[in-house]
Amino acid sequence: MKIKGLIAGLALATVSVMSVGAAQADEYPSRSITMICAWGAGGGSDAVARMIAGLMEKDLGQPIKVVNQTGGGGTIAFSSLSRAKPDGYTIGQVTAELAMNHWQNPAVQITYKDFEPLALVNVDPASVTISATAPFKTYDEFVEYIKANPGKVRASATAVGGIWHIAMGQWLTGLGLPVNAIKWIPTSGAGETYKEMAAGGIDAGFNQLSEGSTMYQAGKAIPVAVMADERDPKYPDVPTLKEKGIDVSIGTWRGFCVPKGTPQDVKDKINAAIKKAVNDPQFVQFMNDRGFGIQYLEGQDFYKFMEKSDADLGASIEALGLARK
């Protein structure tokens, strides 16, 4: 009888513990949530994080505080997220740099494998844009000019090793050309790139398509291709590289992850809130106003996206001679 009583007691205790756990999951979230952003306040990634957080608050019923942890090209924030308690109260924004940093710096070990994927919300593909004063006026003329004059074309979009530099490398590799067929001129970003283009200092740029809108309107730059699976509705006359026979799709991206070990039911609640936020007209208008593309992938689909991004960017980084493994 004592044994039966002990077994019954253990069973009751187990049920009680399970009930408490279920109750805690049902109560999530019961307090404020932290969202880690790897980039500075006021920038594009920060703006996307804050918009998503604000809309999620309405659905989850708890405040979400965006904390900017800058430095190391995103590595500081990514590392902080990986070490956080896996209880759903720390969410992190992850960006394309997660798929790049560990290839370029042997001290960086953190990758997409260190997280539980929530959702991808944004992809902004690279473009192939040429100066209106360049000796070529179309995509095909540009390609032929590069082949006939290796190393003569000067291009930019970012610093050496940045996402747009890597995009150029992928494109040249897709053309069967060496990555040094174009001379890369480092700049601080789109603003400096297009300033140099207007002054005649560079012949081409590989920035996000929408970043050159003012230059296109002024007749100083011509977008001749976009590195995406489909044409951009805002630029319907700009073909994709795939239409040109080059199977390259690359760009910067933003999504959200949580630490490994976060309970599935908690992740489901967070994802439901993210999905609702992405479909909110306020978010759609916000993204359109800034020229940011919306692309939503959830859970394992987002994981596979990060896996492919890591492999593709790694191959390009190695081809450019920038790998430091």
Q: Are 257 and 234 part of one and the same domain?
A: no
pLDDT tens figures, 226-253 = 999 999 988 999 999 999 999 998 999 9
178 and 137 in a common domain = yes
Listed residue (13, 67, 12) closest to 38, CA to CA: 67
**What pLDDT sits at residue 13?**
45
177 lies in a domain?
yes
Domain end marker among 244, 274, 308:
244
Q: What CA–CA distances, in Å, run from 55 to 24, 141, 286, 324?
A: 23, 46, 12, 40
CATH of residue 302: 3.40.190.150
Domain end (from 244, 270, 291): 244
Q: What is the pLDDT of residue 5?
A: 47
Q: Are residues 145 and 235 both part of a single domain?
A: yes
* Domain shared by 239 and 263, yes or no: no
Q: In whole angstroms, what is the distance from residue 41 CA to residue 45 CA?
A: 9
Containing structural domain, residue 95: 31-125+252-319
CATH number for the domain including 158? 3.40.190.10
**Domain annotation covers residue 16:** no
Listed residues 244, 261, 291: the one ending a domain: 244
Distance between CA atoms of residues 102 and 109, nearest Å? 6
Please check whether residues 261 and 237 belong to one and the same domain.
no
166 and 196 together in one domain: yes
Question: For position 150, what pLDDT does the model report?
Answer: 96
The greatest distance separating any two alpha carbons of the chain, rounded to the nearest whole angstrom, comes to: 95
Does one domain contain both 115 and 260? yes
Per-residue pLDDT tens digits for 154-171 = 999 988 989 999 999 999
CA distance 140 to 130: 12
pLDDT value of residue 99: 96
299-308 pLDDT, tens digit per residue, is 999 999 999 9
Number of domains composing the chain: 2
In this structure, the answer to whether residues 41 and 119 fall within a common structural domain is yes
- Of all helices (H) and strands (E), which one includes residue 95? strand 90-95
259 and 116 part of one domain: yes
Is 285 contained in some domain?
A: yes
- 167 with 111, same domain? no
**Would you state the pLDDT for residue 25?**
52
Q: Within the chain, which residues score under 70 in pLDDT?
A: 1-26, 325
- Does residue 308 fall inside a structural domain? yes
Distance CA 148, CA 20 (A): 71
Q: Are residues 100 and 155 in the same domain?
A: no
